[in-house]
Chains A and B, each alone.
Chain A
Amino acid sequence: MAAHRPIATTRSATGIPTGRLAVWWVIASEIVIFGGVLGSYLMHRLGHPEWEHQSVHTNTWIGAFNTLVLLTSSLFAVLAHNAAELKNGKKAANFLMLTCLGALTFMVVKGFEWTHEIQSGFTMQSNMFWSFYYTAAGLHGLHVLAGAIIMLFIAADARKNQELQRVEAIGIYWHFVDIVWVFLFPLLYIAK
């Protein structure tokens, strides 16, 4: 049986709900992690102009499509939050499911994209550009996956009109995942 909720969880000396504070903390730590990866990539890229011979092989159309998919999924997350504010758990859950569908689409498209690239010989080991490409996008993909899984659990609760405040929290996390991609897309796909 679930542990009782301590009073600590319900207090709010700052006026900001604790769930939201927690998500901002998680996002702050993730920003520094992705900042480290992308910062290292940028430093290397600036010192290796010949990487443009590798980066020309990324598929900008697929990258753009995936960007659109993620942005749309973020829109659904916003709509889910609106519904949750209006205490409509069922509607919020449905919008969250659409967000997850976006995540699934993103991962499937990436699966095809990477398969094609690997079969063309662009593996993680073939060049430093590709090492960074797979590492950065892979790390991002893991966060998409983890976020989608957590979102499924939150949607299940929301459908029963429980823990609706978590819809906003996962939405904030989702926007962050989106923003990381908005940085990755130009760095990996557009900069040629």
Chain B
Amino acid sequence: MSADAHAAGHAAGHHEEGWFQKYFWSTDHKMIGMQYMFTGMVMALIGGFTVYVFRMQLAFPGISVPGYGRVTASDYNALVTTHGSVMIFWVAMPVLIAALGNFLIPLMIGCDDMVFPRLNRLSYQLFLLSAIILLASFFVQGGAFGGAWTAYPPLSAKPQYNLTPHGASLWLLAVALEFVAFLLGGINFVTTVMNSRAPGMKMFDVPIVVWMIVIASIVFMASVGPLVAGAVMLLFDQNFGTGFFDPAKGGDPVLWQHLFWFFGHPEVYVVLLPAVGIVAEVITTFARKKLFGYKTVLYTAIGTGVLSFFVWAHHQFIAGIDPRMANIFSVTTLLISIPVAEMMFVYIATLYGGTIRMKVPMLWALAFIGEFLLGGVTGIFLGASGSDIYFHDTYFVLAHFHYTFFPIAFISVFSAVTYWFPKMFGRMMNETFGKIHFWGTVIPFNFIFIPLFILGVRGDHRRIYDYQHFPDLMKPGMQDLRVLATLSLVTLIAFQFVFLANFFYSLFWGPKASANPWQSNTLEWVAASPPPHGNFPEGLPTVYRGPYEYNHPDRPEEDYWPQNVAPTGGQ
């Protein structure tokens, strides 16, 4: 303990960092976390721009989209591919895992940095490089890859089919490099949480969000390997004339699908778990309630992670796999709804007996639960093989996964950002503008995707740039639904500028924040707002209790009991 304190004092007074060192070459976990966050925000704008363009084309076919121009069939496919790839790999993953994991983990477990700071810096740099490579693919001959984020061969393997030879390879390289960056990042998360916890912090005293990021990193690592192998094989098919996925050369296109989805399905839980972790932190703080069933949440998270490896072929029910296999995967897929549902029930139960402060972070956390429930139940229609025959590759699928992904990648992230903004930047965001942003996002969100559910049931299939060629899809009311979804999207995007304005204004001129403005228990609120280099210059904390001891009967004078506060005499 005293050795820790001595070293901490040493470290804090050590550096006089130049601008370059501080902002570009930093090994400080907080700075790296913010680098990931800001990069993710920029990529979110790009992902949002792509969807704005292609939805305008869908609502008003043939229009010259303001800010873009006319959308050709080839443009459409590239935009759709970019939207999906960017949102999953360059927004959801970096923000939920890398930004929050890097910023929060050392603070929440009471130490001064990650175990391998230089490796941490390297992972960000590889990640940034992967984003640059992806964006470069827009500027090469033939343009960006347009084979969807799933990149099924033979379309993705052969230039004569996809017409984007360079774009296809650059896309693949970008994705592969992003995987490497996250594999390296995972090294830090797992070893730091395992080894560098504060004295007194036992396994069940670790905040849920930290556990979730660790479990997500493990699931990611265990699932991405076969896809890395597949990516190498696809790259060789694209550029060196091999035939791994080419039936004419003895290969099998369905092999790619298995390799892709073996990763692709666990991946959705990789991003879900941190989102669910954020919600746990926020609802306990703002309901002033202990988390209902900490162990239940932990075990269901682990159970979900494990089960997620056994469901992948529900993406391939009608892909040409053996129909008997479809039954097995239908069973496993419906069973995985159980631990996830249980987690939602536990969160709802946590509200019981609370005293709920409806601040902006709490509004977002509650919205996550309400919206994600709809996403989850609509998954049942798709996991049931018999009904998937009809719904596969329709907008029903799309609406289902947006009711899960949007809460994951945006709703929980807004909760996290508004919650931890004071800690990150030492200032408070504006509550009123936060509420305007909240309602201006959540209401339009539903008006985008409920129409898309209806369109899916009515037969709209995916990745089609103009429905006018399909008489059965131009029945009365259908185009109106497309227009409604698009106008709601434009509204939603417009309200994001309220957030950006609030964010950047508050960053420079917001009222200064105290160390613990939300009166929360976890260790990051012990550090100053923002924490200095080394996090806890007065000495690293010691932990005496779990993270959610709100309204504990042994501490009547306060309705919270931070983890590092020594017990009172009788305890």
Contact = CB atoms under 8 A, between A and B. Distances in A.
Whether the complex brings A and B within 8 Å at their CB atoms is answered yes
Interface of A: 3-4, 6-14, 16, 18, 21-22, 25-26, 28-37, 39-40, 43-44, 48, 124-125, 127-128, 131-132, 135, 139
Contact of A26 (B14, B187, B229, B230): B187
A139 B236 CA distance: 12
Given A6-B117, A124-B240, A25 B186 contact: yes
For A12, A30, A40, the residue with the greatest tally of chain B CB atoms inside 10 Å of its CB is: A40
B222 A128 contact: no
Interface residues of B, number: 53
Contact of B255 (A30, A31, A40): A40
Given A30-B225, A32-B223, 11 more contacts: A6-B111, A11-B195, A25-B191, A29-B221, A32-B222, A33-B224, A37-B229, A37-B232, A43-B255, A44-B255, A128-B243
B230 A124 contact: no
B11 A6 contact: yes
Given A7-B111, A8-B111, A26-B187, A40 B229 contact: yes
B178 to A, nearest CB: 14
A36 B117 contact: no
Contacts of A48: 250
A26 B196 CA distance: 19
B104 interface: no
Contacts of A26: 183, 187
Given A25-B191, A131-B236, A32 B117 contact: no
B505 to A, nearest CB: 34
Tell me whether chain B's interface is mostly helix, strand or loop, or mixed: helix
B4 A135 contact: no
A136 to B, nearest CB: 9
B249 A124 contact: no
B84 interface: no
B556 to A, nearest CB: 33
B552 interface: no
B106 interface: yes
B195 A18 contact: yes
Interface string B89-118: 000000000000000001000011111111
Q: Which 6 A-B pairs have the closest CB atoms?
A: A32-B225, A36-B226, A36-B229, A6-B113, A33-B225, A8-B196
Nearest to A23: B187
Interface in B221-264: 221-230, 232-233, 236, 240-244, 249-252, 255, 259
Contact of A36 (B183, B230, B241, B540): B230
Nearest to A37: B229
A97 to B, nearest CB: 25
A22 B116 contact: yes
A128 B115 contact: no
B197 A124 contact: no
Given A31-B225, A40-B259, A124-B236, A7 B117 contact: no
Contacts of B225: 29-36
B76 to A, nearest CB: 32
Contacts, number: 145
B27 A125 contact: no
Contacts of B233: 37, 40, 135
Interface of B: 4, 7-8, 10-11, 14, 27, 106, 111-118, 183, 186-187, 190-192, 194-197, 201, 221-230, 232-233, 236, 240-244, 249-252, 255, 259, 534, 540
Tell me whether chain A's interface is mostly helix, strand or loop, or mixed: helix
A3 B230 contact: no
Contacts of B240: 124-125
Given A28-B222, A32-B223, A8 B106 contact: yes
A86 to B, nearest CB: 25
A134 to B, nearest CB: 9
A9 B116 contact: yes
Contacts of A28: 221-222
Given A18-B115, A35-B226, A135-B236, A44 B195 contact: no
Contacts of B187: 22, 25-26
Contact of A7 (B112, B183, B230, B255): B112
A153 B106 CA distance: 29
B114 A6 contact: yes
Contacts of A16: 194-195
A13 B229 contact: no
A34 B225 CA distance: 7
For B222, B242, B259, the residue with the greatest tally of chain A CB atoms inside 10 Å of its CB is: B242
Contacts of A34: 225, 229
Contacts of B251: 44, 128
Nearest to A132: B244
Nearest to A128: B250
A25 B242 contact: no
A10 B7 CA distance: 11
A7 B3 CA distance: 9
B259 A13 contact: no
For A10, A32, A37, the residue with the greatest tally of chain B CB atoms inside 10 Å of its CB is: A32
A58 to B, nearest CB: 18
Given A8-B111, A124-B236, A131-B243, A32 B7 contact: no
18 contacts: A7-B196, A11-B195, A14-B194, A21-B191, A25-B186, A29-B183, A29-B222, A29-B224, A30-B225, A32-B225, A36-B259, A40-B229, A43-B255, A44-B252, A124-B240, A124-B241, A128-B250, A135-B233
A127 B4 CA distance: 60
Nearest to A17: B195
A44 B253 CA distance: 12
Contacts of B7: 7, 10
A36 B115 contact: no
For A8, A26, A44, A48, the residue with the greatest tally of chain B CB atoms inside 10 Å of its CB is: A8
A26 B112 CA distance: 24
Contacts of A31: 225
A124 B242 contact: yes
B228 A33 contact: yes
